[in-house]
Amino acid sequence: MSSSEEAASAVPAARRGRPGYDQRQILEIAVQVFIEHGYDATSVSSLAERLGLSKSALYHHYASKERLLELALDEAMGSLEAVLREPGAAAGPAGERLEHVLRGAVRVLIDKLAYVTLLLRVRGNSDIERAALERRRAFDDQVAVLVRAAQVEGTVRGDVEAAVATRLLFGMVNSIVEWYRPTGPEGASELADDVLAVALDGLRTS
């Protein structure tokens, strides 16, 4: 093997070529930068600098900063919406379906922690953000329907308006992004048990 071949073989495969990151890696780092500095305050130049890339190398993978935001928010919302399509959320007693959705939301939050954190911090300053917020409202509306069905069923107390109960439940779930650390003692399943115990005990009829 020649010296040039030896040098080439010493370069990690993920770093060969240009720009040295795949699309997924760029998206994940961009999400972290958006969280740290705010989406509006993050320029393409600062993002490229964080990645150690030229702007042209960044544009090789993504046409714009807006596209990165769009994909990141879709990652979060798409995962949450998928929970509502799972068999446990679609069939069975309403109270059990509600528990399934809450457990699934906790799982998504932990699995997609950075993406959900970014979703919860958007304020509707662009068409992309407003579209994500509209999807969030639609998701909440579907959960409120489940809460209402559980009230009719008698498994959830009926003296709390369903939409208010939904906001309170997801206020607790969403607060996880502020304190949860993946290196902590609890995984998704254990944390979901805790959330359900605290969040639903006040709503259960028995």
CATH of the domain at 81: 1.10.357.10
pLDDT at 180: 86
The residues pairing with 156 across neighbouring beta strands, listed in sequence order, are: 204
Q: What is the mean pLDDT of residues 136-162?
A: 95
Please state the domain count of the chain.
2
Q: Considering the domain boundaries, does residue 3 fall inside one?
A: no
pLDDT at 206: 62
CB atoms within 10 A of CB 171: 10
Q: Considering the domain boundaries, does residue 111 fall inside one?
A: yes
Pick 192 or 154 by higher pLDDT.
154
CATH of the domain at 35: 1.10.10.60
Q: Which domain holds residue 44?
A: 12-63
CB atoms within 10 A of CB 15: 10
Residues 52, 49: Cα–Cα separation, whole Å:
5
pLDDT at 110: 92
Please tell me which of 133-142, 180-189, 196-205 the model is most confident about, judged by mean pLDDT. 133-142
**pLDDT tens by residue, 174-194:** 998 998 888 878 777 888 888
Q: pLDDT band at residue 195, thresholds of 50, 70 and 90?
A: confident
pLDDT at 87: 97
Residues 154, 146: Cα–Cα separation, whole Å:
12
**pLDDT tens by residue, 16-71:** 334 468 899 999 999 999 999 999 999 999 999 999 999 999 998 999 999 999 99
Helix H or strand E encompassing 94: helix 94-111
Q: Is residue 185 within 8 Å of residue 136, measured between CB atoms?
A: no
Q: Considering the domain boundaries, does residue 206 fall inside one?
A: no
Q: Does residue 51 share a domain with residue 105?
A: no
Q: Considering the domain boundaries, does residue 2 fall inside one?
A: no
